[in-house]
Amino acid sequence: MSESQAPGPFGKAPSLDDLAALAQAAFLTLPEGFRKLTGDVVFRVDDFPSDEVLDELGIEDPFGLTGLYQGVDIGRRGGIGPAAAPSMIFLYRRPILDEWAEHGEVTLEELVAHVLVHEIGHHMGLSDADIDAIEASAG
C-alpha cells in the first residue's frame, strides 16, 4: 500500500507519533486495575526492530515482528538485589502497517491494541501459548 493510498483518517501512512497515540488510546481503554498492574513499563514505537533484536530472536525478516517485551516480567522480580532495568514494550510501526494492509478485516486501532495487549501479557509473565489460549477463549 502506498502512503497516499492508506485508508483511515491519516491521509498518509501513520507516523511513529500516530501509532504512539493509538497505543496510548488503547492503553487508556484497558481497565484501570489492569493498567495499574503494568507499573512503570515504558512504551516505545520504532519503525523496525534493531538488527541485534532480530539476530537474538533468530528472525530474518524485519517485518516478522510487530511488538516486543524486554525486561523482567513482574512475576519474576525480586525485592533483593540490584534494580532491574526498566521494562519496555516496543511496537514496530512498519511491520504493524504491513500486517494491517494484508489483513483488512481489522482496523489499525484494533491491531495496535492487540499487539500492545499481547506485549503487556508478556510483561505480566504470560507465554505466547498462554496469551493465545486467553485470546481463543475470549473469541
Tally of CA atoms within 13 A in the half-sphere of 84 that contains its CB: 16
Q: Residue 7 pLDDT more than 70?
A: no
The one-character DSSP state at 9 is: T
Per-residue pLDDT tens over the stretch 71-113: 887 777 666 665 567 889 999 999 999 999 998 788 999 999 9
Taking only Cα atoms into account, the Rg of the chain, rounded to an integer number of angstroms, comes to: 16
Quick count: other Cβ atoms within 10 Å of Cβ 122?
20
Per-residue pLDDT tens over the stretch 109-126: 999 999 999 999 888 888
> Do strands 67-70 and 42-46 pair parallel, antiparallel, or not at all (unpaired)?
unpaired
Best CATH choice for the domain 13-73+83-138 from the list 2.30.30.40, 3.30.2010.20, 3.40.640.10, 3.30.390.10: 3.30.2010.20
